[in-house]
A and B are shown apart, each in its own frame.
Chain A
């Protein structure tokens, strides 16, 4: 059966999202969703529609033992420090606390968060494999106008013109090895720069911007701060 015929896909997606798709058909379609972006998107569309049915749901507080059970499953015991932590602050502060960078070891990778104009996390960019690949995840919709694409831009530290790094569509992986060594340095992903970045986490080493580019690649929109955070080696 060709699950990806538009009419059939929409019917399966909505029955799956609603829950009325059952038995082996449900399992088969789950496999299709895992392997097909079109199927995954079709399910997402219906889940968003159906989510309005949760607007009036009255919350029911679970027993406190539920949280302890989750902690036992994940961490083999309650985390006292987490329970007595101070309230959550800005994204940078939270990342500082949460990542606990080890300054005595060379980090294997980086995580950076792009903030929107009001300071909320909008995009996570992480680099593993010794900085040869940048993985980008969207945390909120970019609301890209029709006929445009969302383009990740790099702003060189030396004040040179911004240049495009890659088009962002949902989760994206960008091969940084295609960029030259000067670019890597300016993005703060050059391994030779890791020590200095790790020593001063709050230092904004470079800026990346989530902005729109039109068909001829012209830069439009606002750059936003990109804060490179050293990630614990092996994390």
Chain B
């Protein structure tokens, strides 16, 4: 994740329609946000499209950012995640009614964005809650990772992990409960 020292200031100035600050914000954050979209969409062209739409939205809605939404990076990540998830699901609906899914950029996503569970484990280590989250089973952590990094819904997770739907839902729920407990125990409210 890039350094965030100047992001609140940049975002504040973007809210004031400062184009120079907007470019500064883009240069400081676009690589991270691109990886977020790539992980979910697994296609560079579509991730690029979402990234452009996201920055257009950031430009228009910067004044709506508030500190309760987390850091500016957290706020922007959620804009990108929402747009990526929307496109992913819209495309699935579209493709399901026309042709089979052409996942032409799987290699790009796998190499450059990282595998979900490894990314989850590494993030938990950085957040200093890996030991606490280690009480979850590998499948529970994998379910959480597939939901967060791949934008999968419960049925996708159940299919990917070859588990009943109810079991997959339980894994995700348990993963979130444990994440909340671990963060509270560590005194971390989010970055």
Contact = CB atoms under 8 A, between A and B. Distances in A.
Contacts of A161: none
Contact of B56 (A14, A46, A61, A74): A74
Nearest to A65: B48
A137 B67 CA distance: 9
A94 B120 contact: no
Given A47-B69, A60-B38, A98-B18, A55 B1 contact: yes
Interface residues of A, number: 61
Contacts of A50: 148, 179, 190
Contact of A52 (B51, B66, B124): B124
Nearest to B153: A22
A28 interface: no
Contacts of B152: 19-20
B8 A98 contact: no
Contacts of B41: none
Nearest to A48: B190
A59 B31 contact: yes
Contacts of B149: 53
Contact of B52 (A20, A61, A66): A66
A57 interface: yes
Interface string B1-25: 1100010111111011111111110
B74 A94 contact: no
Interface in B73-122: 73-74, 77-78, 81, 85, 89, 112-114, 119-120, 122
A64 B16 CA distance: 25
Interface string A88-129: 100100110111000000000001010000001100100000
B16 A49 contact: no
A69 B36 contact: no
A58 B114 contact: yes
Given A18-B172, A19-B85, A51-B191, A235 B2 contact: no
Contacts of B23: 67, 79, 82-83, 85
Given A54-B123, A91-B9, A137 B63 contact: yes
B77 A51 contact: yes
Contacts of B162: none
A69 B15 CA distance: 20
A115 B119 CA distance: 36
Interface residues on B, range: 35 or more
Contacts of B12: 91, 113, 121, 124, 139
A174 interface: no
A233 interface: no
B8 A137 contact: no
A88 B6 contact: yes
Interface in A35-53: 41, 44, 46-53
B56 A70 contact: yes
Interface in B108-161: 112-114, 119-120, 122-127, 129, 144-145, 147-149, 151-154, 157
B48 A137 contact: no
A137 B70 contact: no
Contacts of B35: 57-60
A145 B113 CA distance: 40
Contacts of A69: 48, 52
Contacts of B32: 54, 57, 59
A131 to B, nearest CB: 18
Contacts of A98: 13, 16-21
Contacts of B119: 53, 56-57
Nearest to A116: B8
A85 B112 CA distance: 31
